[in-house]
Amino acid sequence: MIPEFELITHVLCPYVQRSVIALQEKRIPYRRTDIDLSNKPDWFQQISPLGKVPVLVAEGKGALFESAVICEYLDEVTPGTLHPEDPWRRADHRAWIDFGSGILSEIARMYSGATREAFDTACETLRMRFRQLDERLDNGPWFAGETFCLIDAVYGPIFRYFDVFDTALDLDIFQNAEKVQLWRSHLRTRESVRQAVTADYPERLLAFVGNRGSYMSSLIEGAIHETGRKAVNSG
């Protein structure tokens, strides 16, 4: 019998989104508890040794931290699998999942860089990473063709960043990565991916980046100001 699950989350965390997508895809009942990572509750400190989300709390068992571990556990305790059956393909997927974690780190460098040089360097690295990913992809619609896998749950939150950023800025991150763009468009419409965030996620993300005091913050704030000015003038 599968225990009752509670997922401890933060509204913007992409690693949380991985876990939510896995829960949705495996049709596992759960309840979600969002916390403020800038003011962590005492009880959270006791179940998350690294002070990070997500944390999966299972009734009668305890707590698991680290999204990769959580997703693997959820896959193992439910019928079917979100991994390929073949050991080599499964290992290949795990390698590209790790590659995706590296992309998330580069996205953080992009929106946190204090200077234009740091921002431009991160953007160019991201373009290179997506071109590398493009070379690996087949014809889709998912990473493994017709079958949605755990690796798709990893890249859905990655692409969501750019779905939001593209509403304010022209970053042109996916140049010469047509297959990645196609994969991205399919993931955008997957119900589990759509439900992994709250309806106000775009506004929250833009506000978060806008308040970073980084070079990208100034671009976001400038874009929002210009949009507001045009709206006033057109009214």
Q: Which residues contact 107 (CB under 8 A, 6 or more apart)?
A: 122, 126, 158, 161
Residues taking part in catalysis: 13
pLDDT for res 231: 41
- Assess whether pLDDT exceeds 90 at residue 3: no
pTM of the model: 0.93
Q: Find out whether 9 and 62 touch, Cβ atoms under 8 Å.
A: no
Q: Which residues contact 184 (CB under 8 A, 6 or more apart)?
A: 155, 159, 162, 163, 174
Q: Which CATH number is associated with domain 5-76?
A: 3.40.30.10
Q: What whole-number percentage of the chain has pLDDT above 90?
A: 90
pLDDT for res 219: 97
Task: Give me the architecture of the 87-194 domain, per CATH.
Answer: Up-down Bundle (1.20)
- Assess whether pLDDT exceeds 70 at residue 118: yes
Query: For 184-219, how does the pLDDT look when each residue is reduced to its tens digit (9 = 90+)?
Result: 999 999 999 999 999 999 999 999 999 999 999 999
Closest CA to 214 of 115, 104, 107: 115
- Assess whether pLDDT exceeds 80 at residue 124: yes
Q: What is the distance between the alpha carbons of residues 223 and 167, in angstroms, rounded to a whole number?
A: 9
Domain boundaries, the chain: 5-76, 87-194
Mean pLDDT of all residues in 148-168: 98
Q: Find out whether 7 and 30 touch, Cβ atoms under 8 Å.
A: yes
- Would you say the C-alpha torsion 25, 72, 201, 193 has a positive or negative sign? negative
Average pLDDT, rounded, for the chain:
94
Q: Which residues contact 194 (CB under 8 A, 6 or more apart)?
A: 188
Query: For 14-46, how does the pLDDT look when each residue is reduced to its tens digit (9 = 90+)?
Result: 999 999 999 999 999 999 999 999 999 999 999
- Assess whether pLDDT exceeds 70 at residue 233: no
Please check whether the two domains, 5-76 and 87-194, share a CATH topology: no
Closest CA to 37 of 48, 51, 49, 50: 51
pLDDT for res 93: 98
Q: Which residues contact 123 (CB under 8 A, 6 or more apart)?
A: 110, 171, 173
